């Protein structure tokens, strides 16, 4: 049965709980980007005003919003001439007047592309909202974790700072760092993309290699984990290379890993090259250059997209879209859910990553 492509989500949905089957993300027309938090989902349609979805009726955001970054208490808006932070209540409606506003000059507005990076620094969806960055870092991408930050510089080098008690900074220890510090273990390996989860981090090398580090409590690093809550009673030592595979591959036995403080190269099934990685609170999703989507980690709310609530410490291919004639083209992890841009199985579409 063919289904029209678009953004779909699996996993936790506010007011509904676990969601095991993909549900289309609704918007006023084709959706160009999505921005999830725990309880809210910012939807940015093409040619229409963005909206904030959650429990209850969606709230329309100002029509000149170019990007949105939600949290449980505030929503950051990148507008045509300003950055604004609005408080949100129990529902998605914005409450009162902006709690914070920063005017943007014309050249700053033109340079602002995608939150959280903004001219002169970056923003976080909680007070004090704006944080400066040294121009010497030449930031290309910035990812916010629950307590840490990962920055990809134009040079391809990685920098991290914030809390480090779960090894999420990648500096080889569990110390916190107040200012950006280079991830020396990856120096000399040019990176193309970074992601930050609750307490783990990931990066994709220009050659398509995937590196993971930080907390592995639910197998979110793709390394052997003791904390397999919600997993089958018998250990699953197989890697599923493709949908419908009947011969699982035996995984080499390895010690359990609770914290990986240095970046570790993750071997993807069949040696697949990765084009994008995204991290949730305790799960991870990776899109390959051939348009396959793999997920692993905590699965309690169905966020891995395998139609169950099983937690896995091994990358497994998501097969749920193939029966609809769709393939993965982009992926964004929320804390307890996963959003997938699924397009028709056309060589020119599948494998193309979006802008989010």
Q: What is the pLDDT of residues 54-81, one digit of tens each?
A: 888 889 999 999 999 999 999 999 999 9
Within a domain: residue 113?
no
Within a domain: residue 236?
yes
**Parent domain of 287:** 138-244+254-320
Q: Cβ distance 305 to 295 under 8 Å? A: yes
What residues pair up with 274 in beta bridges, in sequence order?
288
Within a domain: residue 268?
yes
Give mean pLDDT, residues 42-63: 90
pLDDT at 94: 82
Give mean pLDDT, residues 292-303: 97
pLDDT at 346: 60
- Between vectors from CA 240 to CA 237 and to CA 245, what angle results, nearest 5°? 120
Within a domain: residue 334?
no
Within a domain: residue 179?
yes
Helix (H) or strand (E) holding 144: strand 139-144
Closest-CA residue to 42 (of 57, 54, 56): 54
Distance of CA 175 to the CA centre of its chain: 24
Higher pLDDT, 47 or 70: 70
Please, what sign has the CA dihedral across residues 166, 171, 174, 179? negative
Cα distances from 268 to residues 179, 206, 275, 293, in angstroms, run: 32, 15, 12, 11
Higher pLDDT, 220 or 111: 220
Q: What is the mean pLDDT of the chain?
A: 89
Within a domain: residue 24?
no
Within a domain: residue 102?
no
Q: Quote the pTM value.
A: 0.90
- Give the total number of structural domains in the chain: 1
Cα distances from 276 to residues 173, 216, 287, 316, 332, in angstroms, run: 26, 20, 5, 15, 9
Q: Cβ distance 205 to 190 under 8 Å? A: yes
Please list, in sequence order, all residues whose beta carbon lies within 8 angstroms of the beta carbon of residue 347, skipping any fewer than 6 positions away.
none
CB-side neighbour CA atoms (13 Å) of 152: 20
Confidence of residue 92 (pLDDT cuts 50, 70, 90): confident
Within a domain: residue 40?
no
Write out pLDDT tens, residues 14-24.
Answer: 888 899 999 99
Q: Which CATH number goes with the domain that contains 272?
A: 2.130.10.30
């Amino acid at each position: 049965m063919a289904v029209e492509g678009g953004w779909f989500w699996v996993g936790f949905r506010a007011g509904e709980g676990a969601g095991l089957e993909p549900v289309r993300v609704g918007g006023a027309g084709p959706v160009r980007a999505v921005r999830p938090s725990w309880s809210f989902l910012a939807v940015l349609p093409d040619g229409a005003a963005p909206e904030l979805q959650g429990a209850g009726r969606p709230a329309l955001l100002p029509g000149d919003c170019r990007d949105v970054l939600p949290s449980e208490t505030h929503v950051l808006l990148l507008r045509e001439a300003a950055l604004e932070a609005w408080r949100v209540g129990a529902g998605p409606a914005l409450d009162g007047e902006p709690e914070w506003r920063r005017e943007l000059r014309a050249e700053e507005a033109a340079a602002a592309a995608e939150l959280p990076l903004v001219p002169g620094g970056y923003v976080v969806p909680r007070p004090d909202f704006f944080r400066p960055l040294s121009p010497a870092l030449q930031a290309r991408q910035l990812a916010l974790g629950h307590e840490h930050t990962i920055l990809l510089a134009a040079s391809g080098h990685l920098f991290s700072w914030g809390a480090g008690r779960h090894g999420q900074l990648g500096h080889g220890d569990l110390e916190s760092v107040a200012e950006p510090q280079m991830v020396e273990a990856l120096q000399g390996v040019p990176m193309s993309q970074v992601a930050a989860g609750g307490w783990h981090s990931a990066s994709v090398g220009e050659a398509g290699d995937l590196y993971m580090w930080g907390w592995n409590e639910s197998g979110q690093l793709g390394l052997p984990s003791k904390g397999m809550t919600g997993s089958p009673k018998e250990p699953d030592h197989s890697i599923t290379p493709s949908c419908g595979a009947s011969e699982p591959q035996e995984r080499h036995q390895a010690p359990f890993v609770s914290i990986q403080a240095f970046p570790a190269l993750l071997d993807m099934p069949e040696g697949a090259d990765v084009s994008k990685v995204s991290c949730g609170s305790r799960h991870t999703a990776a899109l390959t250059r051939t348009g396959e989507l793999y997920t692993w980690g905590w699965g309690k709310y169905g966020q891995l997209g395998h139609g169950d609530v099983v937690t896995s410490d091994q990358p497994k291919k998501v097969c749920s879209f193939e029966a609809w004639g769709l393939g993965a083209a982009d992926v964004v992890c929320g804390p307890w859910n996963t959003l997938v841009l699924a397009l028709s199985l056309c060589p020119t579409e599948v494998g193309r990553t979006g802008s989010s």
